[in-house]
A and B are shown apart, each in its own frame.
Chain A
Amino acid sequence: MYSLETKKLCKSFGALVVAQNIDFRLAPGDRHALIGPNGAGKTTFVNMLTGALPPSSGAILLGGEDVTRVPQSARVRRGLGRTFQVTTLFRSLPVLDNVALGIAEREGVAKRMWAAASSHKDIIEESKSLLAELGIADDAATRVADLPYGKQRLVEIAIALGLKPKVLLLDEPAAGVPSTESARILEVLDRLPKEIAILIIEHDMDLVFRFARRITVLVQGTVLVEGTPEEIARDVRVHQVYLGEQTHA
């Protein structure tokens, strides 16, 4: 059974077709990259997976169950975590709270109205050990807005990991991070729990070829080719539409 699967997924805005019969599969433990030139429909595809955008037709299966009509928050509770391309954090809150809010949702604690949030020691301890794993434990009390951007990207990953997802969508995790800090993010990505199925959307080809064991190339809303990094690197069509552009640029 696949962790995540799409069957003939389509999306069009009026006459504009942005996704056409996308069949995609992600098994537990997969490290899969989704690449493609600008406007290929990567973001649309991710938004359909998370539930932010309803597909025009086709089906999305999470852990074998059809979630095509299931709202975004319920998909998260079924094990679909994500990070955002543009950091989407609680900027005025401390780093600890950013992570704790997610863990509290996962544990079903967030509905509680009476006992103080800070008396939930288990949530706070788990948040702290997660931050320690990512090497940002010292920043637990810092407001996110006061953090350097590279560390904000790590908080973004920490929140997603706190949800203990079975499937994790990483939307350009290193976007906008200076190269001096991106090594830290790569290191974190390498150490992510083995059993999570991960789909990474990325422009940085070094990162893609280092991280992914399979690659899907999306062009104009359709899957051009899918294969191992070696196959993709050799594929003539990929060179024409995508890698070619880059070498000439």
Chain B
Amino acid sequence: MNGYSADPGIRWTEWLPWVAAVVFFFLLPGYLSLGARILIFILFALSLDLILGYAGIVTLGHSAFFGLGAYTAGALGAHTGITDPFLQLAAAAGLSALLGLATGAVILRTRALTLLMLTLAITAILLEIANKWTSMTGGADGLSGVKVDPILGWFRFDLYGKTAFIYCLALLFVGWWVVRRIIYSPYGAMLTGIRENTARMNAIGAPVYWRLVLIYTISATMAGVAGALLTQVNQFVGLNVLGLEPSGDVLVMLILGGVGRLYGAFIGPVVYLIAQDYLAKQYPEFWFLGIGILLIIVVLFARGGVLGILDNVFTRNKKAL
């Protein structure tokens, strides 16, 4: 719950994800690469939650920004001398913001199914460009040999993913802080208003279209940073960062965790990627089936995702008391 009646103070439960991340770092050193991947997808899901959960923009094309960010960092690291990690992030953020602004300004005049198809079309176009422009992207083989300098000239990306994990955690923390501020701000309250009732927002004098374009651009920037992080951590980028599949993945993650609730974006990727990791080892051919069943269960029986279930249990206990 955000808005004018909400208490913006950070509750103790909100520190739990960060405590969990630190515990994970020390207790499961063998899984830090998976951990870094989870953190990146949390950032990606968080950016989607901002536009889908709060502003109500339905999209199947959020991978366009994730992928552009990933290829920007990749192309810089593989083809140019720009190997500083933060410079690569900045470039990825800048290009993703530009793409968000340019495409948002066009497609946000539409809504519902038209909007959904347009977002999908944009990421499909980028996928095709990445596929054909082999000299820049490596095409279907992917782009390997992406060079990334040690962070701050000091912390080298190691084999076990220690540096990667902490690097991603730090950036996720910044992303979380920014998103949290926005959500609790008047702007966040206003976005909730647009999601709740666009006609009413127009009738109180809000320039709805421009407000949506701005939040879309901010969200695109974050998704671009997440994509760049994935490239830097893997020192590789392939076509799987663009198109319908990663867009669908992050959407499923958010639905699993709970849409429109800040921490749904945290829980979803954890559940999804751990399930994927486990199922892919046990049943390499059928792991998608497990994810599918999970999604069906959530959509049928727990519309608010994992957080929705927790909410229900909690309020029931309260009532019992």
A114/B181 in contact, CB under 8 A: yes
Chain B residues, CB < 8 A from A106: 204-205
Does B310 make an interface contact (CB < 8 A)? Answer: no
Cβ distance A234 to chain B, nearest Cβ, rounded Å = 37
Tally of A-B Cβ pairs under 8 angstroms:
125
- The answer to whether the Cβ of B80 comes within 8 Å of any Cβ in the partner chain is no
B197 near A88: Cβ-Cβ < 8 Å: yes
**Cα-based distance from A150 to B97 in the complex (angstroms):** 46
Q: A15-23, A91-99, A183-191, A210-218: which one contacts chain B?
A: A91-99
The reply to whether B3 and A93 form a contact with Cβ atoms under 8 Å apart is yes
CA distance A72 to B8 in the complex (A): 32
Residues of A within 8 A of B208 (CB): 73
Q: Within 8 Å CB of B186, what residues of A?
A: 104, 109-113, 115, 117, 120, 123
B 1-49 contacts with A by CB, 8 A: 2-8
The answer on a CB contact under 8 Å between A88 and B8 is: no
In whole angstroms, what is the CA distance A23 to B181 when docked? 49
Q: Which residues of A contact B197 (CB under 8 A)?
A: 88-91
In this complex, what residue of B is CB-closest to A96? B5
Q: Which residue of B lies closest to A104 (CB)?
A: B186
Chain A: number of interface residues, binned into ranges: 35 or more
Q: Which of A84, A102, A113 contacts B187 (CB 8 A)?
A: A113
A97 touches B204 (CB 8 A): no
> In the complex, are the beta carbons of B203 and A117 less than 8 A apart?
no
Q: A90-B196, A101-B189, A116-B184 are in contact. Are A159 and B204 (CB under 8 A)?
A: yes
Query: In the complex, which residue of chain B has the Cβ closest to the Cβ of A159?
Result: B204
Interface membership of A77, Cβ < 8 A: yes
Partner of A116, one of B8, B193, B205, B206: B8
Task: Give me the interface of B with A, judged by CB distance under 8 Å.
Answer: 2-8, 181-182, 184-190, 192-193, 196-197, 199-208, 211
Q: 8 smallest A-B Cβ distances: which pairs?
A: A76-B205, A116-B8, A102-B204, A100-B4, A90-B196, A113-B187, A117-B189, A77-B205
